[in-house]
Amino acid sequence: MRERTMTKTAAIIGGGVIGGGWAARFLLNGWDVRVFDPDPEAERKISEVLDNARRALPGLGNVALPAEGSLSFHADLAEAVSGADWIQESVPERLDLKQKVYADLEKHCDADAVIGSSTSGFKPSELQKGRGNAGQIVVAHPFNPVYLLPLAEVVTTEANSKLVVERSKEVISSIGMYPLHLKKEIDAHVADRFLEAVWREALWLVKDGIASTEEIDNAIRYGFGIRWAQMGLFDTYRVAGGEAGMKHFMAQFGPCLTSPWTKLMDVPEFTDELVDLIAGQSDAQSGHLSIREMERIRDDNLVGMMRALGANDWGTGALQNAHDKTLEGEAGLVNMIGEIADLSQPVLTQSRVVPLDWTDYNGHMTESRYLDAFAQSTDRLMAIIGCDAEYIASGGSYFTAETHIRHIDEVHAGHPVQIRTRVIMGAGKKMHLWHEMYEGDRLLATGEHMLLHVDLKTRRSAPPAAHIEANLVKLAQAHAGLEAPEGLGRAIGAPR
């Protein structure tokens, strides 16, 4: 193969959901992208996919992506693929159509370009059949959204040289994806065979009136789906086997394979050889970790994923948010000023246990999480005075203008903390708050915040609604009788 230049070019043949996702993945990783699709709406559709990709992908990592490549649309296939390093075919799943595309590509693409197919079902040998350039063609099957999900199943045949195989894996890795190279070609590759099995069983469950589509989705997203997302199938079952590991799990549940549980009854014979094979591979996969260690890793991952889902009020996160609402009263938290029993005391704005993902390499809470915690307390205080979601939707809110946080004592994951909030000033456009974080009687941190009320249409400071200001003034006057907190207005580095 010829030496590649610094400028890399990908040609996308077919600009639908998958083709658009490939275009975004390559483009945002610095490749020039050319798109060929006869659909007159292709440019609009891909532009919309790119909008979503630009919003999501750059924030996935902790290092900036390279400068975005150039994007062009071409009415002529030869023009699109000439000089391209990588050609990704994502046309509809019709073998005759795909073979027609490959016949055209053979005429016009460079001899050393790799041609990847997004096919979810066809084997590479079917795509290569009759082609003089069969060695250039591989399967590179992604998952939607391609710009976020990193898996690409790479399926090759003996027609593909070792150089083409390595080049395929290298390119896919270079755009932040994981190339899963199959040892043998098979219909539907690996992942979609699992999906097809689950899909068929789901269709039977709905047809037979056992469960609704929503109930089936809930079974996945509230149960095994979120476990699979972070540990896959075999490691999940290894942990389920307890300290005895995979062999114990298979001994306990293996006989169930002969039970008429599913409509898919063609199962391999359950032999000692099969048990040893799977247990051996499982040991090699994760045997360097104890089951307790794997459980802790699993738990950390699950908490992180479910908390992320909670930010969008989705799936297991929505379930937890609803549960939190039921716990608020028991924790002493209130949602409106009329529920506060004693206005003269600081308002309890947070009562929680420090989450696992709030700690850093030193074993205590990382700096950004102090701000996160105090910001959540500010949000609750805003809701208490009436600056809630409905009020914000009407066009008014408070923006933080200045923050000062003091880190007084260590905060550790799993420890219970409370935050109590005082209103120092609340007249006019300003809201001056003082937060104190405690574990029992031990002061951990303080946060001082100055906020300005803003008109969300003009994005300029503006007076709040009368009832918002009245509630804020009411709290400020009630808290004025308290002794001024130590550290109020303190400059950074001033003596304690």
pLDDT in tens, 376-389: 999 999 999 999 99
Mean pLDDT of the chain: 89
The answer to whether 446 and 403 are in contact (CB under 8 A) is no
Q: Residue 268's pLDDT is what?
A: 61
Q: How far is CA 18 from the centre of its chain?
A: 19
* Tokens coding 238: 């290894």
- 274-283, 348-357, 371-380: which has the minimum mean pLDDT? 274-283
Q: How far is CA 463 from the centre of its chain?
A: 38
* Tokens coding 321: 């948010």
Mean pLDDT to the nearest integer, 403-420: 92
CATH match of 332-479 with 3.40.50.300: no
* Tokens coding 267: 């199962």
- 210-219, 401-410, 444-453: which has the minimum mean pLDDT? 210-219
Distances, alpha carbon 360 to alpha carbons 295, 357, 364, 366, 367, in Å: 20, 8, 6, 5, 9
Q: Residue 364's pLDDT is what?
A: 87
- Among residues of the chain, what percentage have pLDDT more than 90? 58
What letter does residue 235 receive in the DSSP assignment?
Answer: H
Mean pLDDT to the nearest integer, 119-144: 94
Q: Residue 62's pLDDT is what?
A: 65
Provide the Cα torsion 92, 97, 100, 102; round to 10°. 30
Mean pLDDT to the nearest integer, 1-27: 83
Give the tens place of pLDDT for each residue, 39-79: 999 999 999 999 889 988 887 776 778 889 999 999 999 99
* Main-chain phi, psi angles of 485, to 5 degrees: -70, 140
- Among residues of the chain, what percentage have pLDDT more than 70? 95
Provide the Cα torsion 172, 176, 178, 179; round to 10°. 0
The answer to whether 196 and 207 are in contact (CB under 8 A) is no
Give the tens place of pLDDT for each residue, 221-257: 888 888 888 788 888 888 888 888 888 888 876 776 6
Res 477 pLDDT > 80: yes
Q: CATH 1.10.1040 in the chain, residues?
A: 191-296
Most confident residue range from 197-211, 268-282, 478-492: 478-492
pTM over 0.75? The answer is no
Name 285's bridge partners.
Answer: none
Res 350 pLDDT > 60: yes
Task: Enumerate residues 6+ apart whose C-beta is below 8 A from 361.
Answer: none
Res 493 pLDDT > 80: no
Mean pLDDT to the nearest integer, 312-329: 80
Nearest to 148 by CA among 72, 61, 32, 87: 61
The answer to whether 37 and 72 are in contact (CB under 8 A) is no
Q: Is the peptide bond before 145 cis (omega within 30 degrees of 0)?
A: yes
Q: Is the dihedral of CA 25, 30, 36, 40 positive or negative?
A: positive
Res 466 pLDDT > 90: yes
Q: What is the CATH superfamily name and number for domain 9-181?
A: NAD(P)-binding Rossmann-like Domain (3.40.50.720)
Helices (H), 4-41: 17-28
Sheet of 9-13, strands arranged across: 71-74, 32-36, 9-13, 86-89, 114-117, 137-141, 151-155, 178-181
Res 2 pLDDT > 60: no
Q: CATH 3.10.129.10 in the chain, residues?
A: 332-479
- DSSP line for 265-302: -------HHHHHHHHHHHHHHHTTS-HHHHHHHHHHHH
Instruction: Give the other-Cβ count within 10 Å of 294's Cβ.
Output: 17
Q: How far apart are CA 444 and CA 406, in angstroms?
A: 9
Q: Residue 5's pLDDT is what?
A: 47
Exposed, middle or buried by CB within 10 Å (0-12, 13-18, 19+), for 375? middle
Give the tens place of pLDDT for each residue, 264-303: 656 567 678 877 887 888 888 788 888 778 777 877 877 7
Nearest to 407 by CA among 352, 370, 356, 448: 370
Query: For the structural domain made of 191-296, what CATH number should be given?
Result: 1.10.1040
Per DSSP bridges, beta strands 347-353 and 151-155 are: unpaired
Res 217 pLDDT > 60: yes
Q: CATH 3.40.50.720 in the chain, residues?
A: 9-181
The answer to whether 344 and 481 are in contact (CB under 8 A) is yes
Q: Residue 262's pLDDT is what?
A: 66
